[in-house]
Structure 1
Amino acid sequence: MKITVAETSLQQQDAFQVRTLVFVEEQRVPADLEIDELENDSIHFVGYEENTPGAAARMRFVDGYAKFERICILKDFRGKHYGNELVWAMEEEAKKRGMKKAKLHAQTRAIPFYERLGYTVVSDEFMDAGIPHKTMTKQL
């Protein structure tokens, strides 16, 4: 999979499409919570397999952290380690921009995935869009 920073409106729309399919259609997150007022302040990532978008995420800079958000892989693309590639690409972009630490809100079922990538739980469980999450961080 080729992970890229979305630099064109088409790439950004591809990222939104992947996010909508995963979060709104599959996980039933309300559409107005998924695409929000922070989109213009975010760096968007999209992953392509043979020109088909299959992964997406966004990154913002918050309180000294590169905050990784909306990390998702389409169902048909799962099990191929594309999630690893997406997070690594985000970490590399964050480092290029001078960031030394990353933070994300992981769905509790995804915590083992992020732990394998070096992230540590730093919060109690909380609900976001009706889904249990915990905050995780990592030194870059």
Structure 2
Amino acid sequence: MIVIEPVADYTPCHALRREVFIEEQGIPEPEEWDDLDDEAIHLLAREGERLLGTARLIRREETGKIGRICVVKSARGTGLGAALVREACDRFEAMGCTRAYLSAQVYAIPFYEKLGFVAYGDDYDDAGIPHRDMEKSL
């Protein structure tokens, strides 16, 4: 059974982000790590001991930012990514947030649109990958 839960020790989340963002997508390591991890809520998806995905949640007043969303190759297409995003939105709503925001890799915009997010603004480069901001009312 797949479990998605917040974790205090986000070392497993870093391992997933290293695998997906640094090794698979080629994002330079210094661009992946920042000083926001300590203030964030880290969601970890796992099946038993098998790590499957993660997302990072940062609250800014009434807005919740979902970031660093990743799913290992073997779990893509299973609905796990959508489950991570829904869990993040549910948690932000429970905290009193009225809006969720994320920075989507452009190729993933249709995925987030299916979850109720709307793209806004222009495309921009983030770590060599085209991104666009998206938001959803909670």
What TM bracket, shorter-length normalisation?
A: over 0.9
Q: Which residue is 2:91 aligned to? A: 93
Q: Which residue is 2:71 aligned to? A: 73
Distance in 2, Cα, partners of 1:50 & 1:77: 14
Give the share of equivalent positions with the same residue, in percent: 36
RMSD of aligned alpha carbons: 1.0
Q: Which residue is 1:113 aligned to? A: 111
Contact in 1 for aligned 2:62/2:96 (Cα 8 Å): no
Q: Which runs of 4+ in 1 moved over 3 A?
A: none
User: Which whole-Å deviations, capped at 9, do the CAs of 1:83-112 have from their partners, x for residues lacking one?
Assistant: 011001101111111111100000000000
Cα distance, 1:121 vs. partner?
Answer: 0.4
Distance in 2, Cα, partners of 1:81 & 1:43: 21
TM score, norm. by length of structure 2: 0.95
2:27 aligned to which of 26, 29, 36: 29
Cα distance, 1:63 vs. partner?
Answer: 5.8
Matches within 5 A, 1:1-140: 1-7=2-8, 9=9, 12-62=10-60, 64-140=62-138
TM score, norm. by length of structure 1: 0.94
Cα distance, 1:114 vs. partner?
Answer: 0.0
SS in 2 for 1:123: strand
- Which residues of structure 2 form unaligned runs of 5+? none
